[in-house]
Structure 1
């Protein structure tokens, strides 16, 4: 399983490394919403959450799905502007201006990508802004994730311009509340890393630069395809004339262990790679429990289910749709994971939602948890 990026004929000067304040704000919001993914950030997430104005915290919950379970492409708008520079702006205000330039189709499609798996899996799909059936499917998927997500999705489809204004103001308020000071601290290190990798690319070539980015990245001998070792299938190109050629690597301090590859159709590819070192391995559990858990994870489909459940709660029917198997098959796999103490289930209205227990999974080892969260 992997995501591949076609770079055949791409000039080396079109491969760039650059920090993105808007992408890092996305990862900061993700860390606040999923602190279990980022134990080494516990001090920052605890202090920042405690200092948030209650009104701002409530507003963040309204749009939380944009960064909680997946990372919406709207946080990398520079990749979605046809004929644009294809590079992040140096300031958050500049990147928000670029976000304003995205047309409504791209903005809504990216914001609702969690409701539209065809966007990545099948190379597109009808627009929920224009197609009633696509709208109904998007809202049904949103309803399965809870009333907040449904309410936001309805607002977005009914009044995209108003929601865009609301979202920009929300991100500006986050910048004022906590991110400006955080970015001031992080930006010099990210810029230095980008310069270092750019020089490595110039002096030693792409294979050496990719090795320095992540062990999960590689390039073939002919320098035609970059491969990201991830538990998903995907393919994109860095030489599409409709959007513009280019491949951008964006560092993140908040992102570990996530290695994200933007590979949506008609967007430039972006690799969002983590800086820093992994957290130390946790202590061992009982032998009997460890054996039960390893046996549960030996099945490849249960590994794939773990990848989904590590990111967000899912219903049985959602997992069946995502992984192309029947609901009874999903239920049997979930029962094995539950007996091994690796997941839990809770009710959300008329839906039963399943989620991986990251604390339990972390006890198996950092290699496993980094693999499923990559």
Structure 2
């Protein structure tokens, strides 16, 4: 599974790497709502929550579906501005001004993304003009509780008031906690953007994308960027160009904005030296499948404790050497075994470090 961005004919000058204060504020709200997604930020989230004004905390819950389970495209409004590529604002007020430039239909479509009521990467009817879509949006909101129903009704009946509410809320968040965080983070994000831009200029798009994330690759023969994610999607750069937006608060999430008619955006976490790169979705699936077989589980029990030859494992498990070799081959292909030679014998052992990371790798893979 993957998201594809068709880039046929895309000129290098149409590719930009730029931080966005509004996108980072969106990730801050997400981290506060879902601290379990970001274990490295739990201390920061606890500190912010402890000193948060109770009124602002209540308002944060009023529309948290815009940033809790998914990251709304409203936090990257520059991608929706018609008439060619638009860059994020250098400051939060400038980014919020871009949010104000979205049409009511764009705003409502993006805000209703949490209901999954609308086609995302294709043209379709909208909730403001189509009664069937409107009813579906309200039905889906009802399944998520009265809070979502109230918000959806407000949004469909009076988009300008919701837009004004959201802008005021984001400005209050900036004053309460985000301005201080952004003053620390913007230098790191600007440095990362400069580094990726220089890579793009000197070594090309392939190297720049490899530096963005091991989950992003350029398929030059097909003229497309492939992002390894547990979802399917496709978009084109057309005349809008391609935007890469770094985030410090976003790991492990690698977001791909591929909304129909919007400029494609890769919202990627800046690299962290303490954390190793997660395996691809295919590698993760292969590892979990390899360990799920009952025979390989029993073999792994021995290999986790010591190194054994194929013949020793065959004797232990009452199997033939070729049968054991096939199971070892599956484990090795999944990257779960280490081997070493001792004279004419080959010893196999379970790579317990890789196995120990499976839980966090799985979580990172499904949250990417």
1:111 corresponding residue in structure 2 = 111
Q: 2:84, 2:240 within 8 Å by CA — same for their partners in 1?
A: no
Shift of 1:149: 1.2
CA distance in 2, matches of 1:125, 1:160: 19
1:294-347 Cα offsets, whole Å, 9 max, x none, are 67x969xxxxxxxxxxxxxxxxxxxxxxxxxxxxxxxxxxxxxxxxxxxxxxxx
**Compared with structure 1, are the counterparts of its residues 188 and 88 closer, same or farther at alpha carbon in structure 2 (3 Å cutoff)?**
same
Q: TM-score, normalised by structure 2?
A: 0.77
The reply on whether 1:366 has 2:360 as its aligned counterpart is yes
Q: How does 1:64-103 map to 2 (within 5 A)?
A: 64-103=64-103
1:337-373 Cα offsets, whole Å, 9 max, x none, are xxxxxxxxxxxxxxxxxxxxxxxxx984222111110
CA distance in 2, matches of 1:372, 1:231: 6
Q: 2:118, 2:133 within 8 Å by CA — same for their partners in 1?
A: no
Greater C-alpha radius of gyration: 2
In structure 1, the gaps of 5 or more residues are: 282-293, 300-361
Q: How does 1:164-243 map to 2 (within 5 A)?
A: 164-222=163-221, 224-239=223-238
Q: Which runs of 4+ in 1 moved over 4 A?
A: 278-281
Q: Which of 240, 246, 251 is the equivalent residue of 2:241?
A: 246
Q: 2:118, 2:126 within 8 Å by CA — same for their partners in 1?
A: no
1:214-245 Cα offsets, whole Å, 9 max, x none, are 00000113471001000101000011xxxx42
In structure 2, the gaps of 5 or more residues are: 277-287, 294-355
Q: How does 1:31-46 map to 2 (within 5 A)?
A: 31-46=31-46
Shift of 1:205: 0.6
Secondary structure class of the residue paired with 1:165: helix
CA distance in 1, matches of 2:158, 2:209: 42
Q: 2:85, 2:241 within 8 Å by CA — same for their partners in 1?
A: no
1:196-215 Cα offsets, whole Å, 9 max, x none, are 10000100111110110000
Q: TM-score, normalised by structure 1?
A: 0.75
Count of aligned positions? 296
Shift of 1:131: 1.3
Secondary structure class of the residue paired with 1:227: strand
Decide which moves more: 155-164 or 112-121: 112-121
CA distance in 2, matches of 1:37, 1:116: 22
